[in-house]
Structure formats: C-alpha cells, structure tokens
A and B are shown apart, each in its own frame.
Chain A
C-alpha cells in the first residue's frame, strides 16, 4: 500500500449529500477481474448526464482533494469505488460524514478520508468554487489541514493513521495474530 504523509493540492468541490457508490462507479463498469482500469470511469454517468458536473470542468482536472457534504460513499459495498477515485488521482476526500463500508474500504487502500463540521465544509466548497487555484495542504502526521491562511485540526483513528503513514495493510496485522486465532478456534471450534 502507498504511504500517505502530506498532500498539497487544488480542491474539487462536489457540493451534494449522499454521494453513493453507484454514482462513483456505475455497475456496468464492475465486470473486471482486476483492481485496475476504473479511474477513467469515475462518476461516468453524472459526467455524461450533466455537462456542468464538476469533473467536466477543466479547471478542476488536477485536484487531488475532493470535498463533498454528508454521507459520502453510501449504498453498494463495491470497493471498486475506492479504486476508481484513487486511480482518477484523488488522494483525500473531505466530508461531513462517510458511510461505514466505504470508510473501511478506503482505509484499507490508503485513501485518506477526513471529516469536518458542515460549516467548514461549506466554507471549503465556497472557496473552491470561487477559486479553482486555491491550494490546500493535508498533513496526516499532524492531523491538520491548512488553506486560505487558516489551519484546521482533524480527528483520525490511531491504528489507521499508523497504517497509512507506513503503507501497511490490515492483512499483515491479522496474520501476525495467528496464535490468537488458533486459540479462538481451539476454544470455539471451527465454525
């Protein structure tokens, strides 16, 4: 897994609630047997339906930070949604809240999800919409965001922070606890 420490980038403002994983990667693009090739189809239905959709605007092409509102990533458990976002070039998503499965899937792939209060989100969205060249800095070790001359703290789970900064994945952690798993199975029997 790729390590994540700090990121400087423009912001992509996606000012809606309940961005579902069908929107992020529509089902017709899920037939692959690999983890690659999803980036070009990220938000494909919305991009074709709405000419003014944010990812159709050239000035937001280079953004690596996506800002949206409430309940981002709801719906289907498809991890392809995380792969698609990352392969498009987005490394951080900032929202007021995320759905549980999407949150888990993101941490396991090194996509940093940050939650912020709605008033901060609205401020970020307004700035990004007015000025597509505004630059934001995300600093994971210090759990801080700075942009527009202001700094903000974000909470982040210690275990997931450790994994992201060091590029470690959960499987190594689980496998390192094999003796506990053996003990569990000796006591409970294999299911």
Chain B
C-alpha cells in the first residue's frame, strides 16, 4: 500500500494499539529545557520511577537565561533557581546538559539539529510547541506538555491519537525578496490559526526542495502557528549534507545504511492524505503581521483587512485597538521602536548572514533599538568567525548571547510597554514580547531593512 512519510514514521513507532484507546507511540528523542522539565523530574522522583533511556535525552538552557555578556550571573532569583534545578536534575540522573560553558548551549530547537541529535525518521518530543522545527529533517517531532515529558522519560512512550495527514504544496516561484518566513506566514494567513488542527503537515513542492535546512526549519517551526501538531519535509540530499559528520549522526558503515533508510522515508508516489492544499507563491513578496495572532498576516505591499473581512469581528476589533492600526491602511512607513532578530524561528546562521548583508555599511535608525540574538553558541561563534559581529556593532545593533530572549520575554529582554517591535519571532500574541508591547512578525531581511529606515519597510525601500 502507498504510504506517506507521516504514516510510515507513525506506524514504525507503534508499541501498542487498541480500539477506543489512544495509541502508544515510541519516542526516540527527548529534548529538555529549564521551563517545562522540573515538574517532570519531581514527579518521577516522587513516584520512584527511573528514567528508562537517559541516553536518548539532552538538555540545554534557553528560555529564562539572560543574553547579556555577563549572563553567568542570573539576577532574577526565581529564574536562577529554575536553571539550577535543571542542572541539578541532569547531574543527579546522568542526562547530558549543554550548559553555558559547553560551546553548545542555545535554543533547544537550534542545538538539536546542529548536534545531529535530530535525525530523519525519529520521533522527537520537547515541552515546547516549536518542537515542530525538527520536522525539517523528516522527523516526527511535536511539542508536548510536562506530563508527556514525564511519561516519555519513564516509559519511552506517550499516548497519542493518530494525527490526520495534510499535504501543503507551495507552487510557483516568488520574487527575490520572498523568504521561507514569508512562505509560512502566507500559509497561516490562508488556512488560519486553527487550520491545521489535529494534523501533521508534510510540505512538498519545488520551492521546498530548493530551500536550505535553515529555511526548512523556519517553515516547520511555525507549523504549530496554524494549529498543526507537527510539520515535516522528506529527507533529501540537502538533509544528508547538513547532517554528515555531526556529533550524534551515524558514522562510517552506519552512515551509509542510515542514508538509504532515510531516503526511503519519502512519501510513496500517489500516497493519500486526509487534506491537501496548494499555495501559489508565484511572484509573491514579503509578508508581515498587523494584528494579535499569526493569521493576521498580509503581504507587505497590501493594506490591512476590513473589520467585516471574515473571521471573528470581536477579535479583529480587539486586534486593531491593541496594535493601534486602522483597517485599510498600509503598514509601510509605520514607525517602530524595536527590531529583534533571533528565536527558534530565525536565529540561525543563515538568518544572521542575511541581516549582516543588509546592515553592512548602514546604520540602525536613531529611534530604533535593535537586538540580534544568535540561536546558539555555535551560531554565535560562526558569526564571529565570519566577522558578522563587527558589521552588527558598526551598524549600532546589539549582538547578544544565545537564548530565547525577546521572543517570549521570560528573561530581562522585553519590549517596553506601548512600544512597537518588528520581530523575526513566531507569535504576535497580546503582550508576548512584554506586557502591552506590539509585535509585527516578519523575515530577518524585512526586520533589518525596517531597523535601518526606522519604520516598517522592505528591502526594496533601501537606497
């Protein structure tokens, strides 16, 4: 029978299946961080249950830690306790932790791939919704709550209902300023914030095949923003060349065998899906969000929608009131106070290179504070080796240490009240980047161009 990649991975990981019960799915990899793991360790300890396969688990710190140069000192006592608790739990149980002295600390979804811990065909979970990122490698990777982290640590299994499968094809070739971030925002604008609920999305098409691994991760990362449980892309030569030689990737004869197995994961020609959609990106340009969730996205050269344009009227009214915008206006020219490049969506080396290319020889506008936060220490070290840090400094941007930073404002990096930020992050929810702050989601290139001009703008507006 013809199978798609989602069902292939699901079926090979089924441990136990019984009618009327959720399925028992084997979990190959668990990623931990400080925010959602402490209660899982405590539960196992209370119930005296050992960790079943600790070699399948790695941890790092990302959400609560500061990103200034002196980050070893965590001033916030509660955050410090949280980080120290993870360190103590890993030490006690023998779980590998990539701490800030390891050269591999960073956002869990950036670190997993760069270590080769993320591999095709694997099932991967983390107590963070953006675990969907790892699907870029053809893994079935989804965000779970702390209970399911506990379950997987104890049993290497979780209980899940079988997801529906959803094929998303991007068709046509966009304009030169269009990026992977714009592609995923366009999909979310089209199907809505709940459009992928209950589904795992497979992304297919020429455009997807043409993308780098970094760009594929950006697309899979935001699958959760249309409600999908996961997003994935079948492994190909690009995937293999990214993974070869990485720390946890198979070596020698194992590598040769793994390559064959991974390439065989691709969906069979003519395989069925529960749902499918084609998104036409012919000639499309950059996207930006105007409202309070990621479906409130328009093309940068469009105007904001009317209140009665569809969707929940109360939500649209609230969105305009919160973002202090009007229906029917262009966002181009709207003054900004902050520009943020980073997060698990766009904090990779390719993103930093794109930003450096725009900032090179230019200055961040006087009215704008710009933070550039690498997704990991490896990204930071690469940026330094390539001299990107010098370009950022010359432009007047603040190049900081790795972490989630201003994406969710759990650490001291916050957009102040009432201030407007253009951001490469994944959520423009109310207060997401700091209480009463306003967020516009966009690509790194659009963020950099806007930072230079001091107002929302695209690359094409730069002199």
B-binding residues in A (CB < 8 A): 15-18, 20, 22-23, 26-28, 30-35, 45-46, 48-49, 69-71, 74-79, 82, 97, 99-101, 104-105, 108-109, 157-159, 169-171, 173-175, 177-178, 180-181, 184-185, 188, 190-191
Contacts and interface: CB of A to CB of B under 8 A. Distances in A.
B39 A101 contact: no
Interface stretch (B152-160, B239-247, B339-347, B348-356): B152-160
A39 B217 CA distance: 35
Contacts of A101: 129, 142-145, 229
Interface residues of B, number: 75
A180 B157 CA distance: 11
Contact of A70 (B142, B144, B312): B312
Nearest to B85: A33
A170 B128 CA distance: 20
A175 B154 contact: yes
A31 B155 contact: no
B315 A16 contact: yes
A170 B194 contact: no
A76 to B, nearest CB: 5
Contacts of B36: 77-79
A159 B22 contact: yes
Contacts, number: 191
A188 B151 contact: no
B216 interface: no
Contact of A33 (B38, B154, B161): B38
B432 A184 contact: no
Interface stretch (B76-84, B168-176, B330-338): B76-84
27 contacts: A18-B193, A18-B194, A20-B427, A22-B429, A23-B429, A23-B430, A26-B431, A26-B435, A27-B432, A28-B435, A35-B39, A74-B293, A78-B35, A79-B36, A99-B194, A104-B144, A157-B161, A159-B20, A170-B151, A175-B49, A177-B24, A177-B155, A178-B155, A181-B24, A181-B52, A190-B53, A191-B56
Interface of B: 12, 15-16, 20-22, 24, 26-29, 35-36, 38-39, 42, 47, 49, 52-53, 55-56, 63-64, 76, 78-79, 81-82, 85, 122, 127-129, 131, 142-148, 150-151, 154-161, 193-194, 197-198, 224, 227, 229, 293, 311-312, 314-315, 318, 408-410, 427, 429-432, 435-436
A33 B81 contact: yes
Contacts of B408: 22, 27, 76
Contacts of A105: 145, 147-148
Contacts of A75: 129, 224, 427, 429
A79 B410 contact: no
A20 B429 contact: yes
Contacts of B12: 188
A110 to B, nearest CB: 11
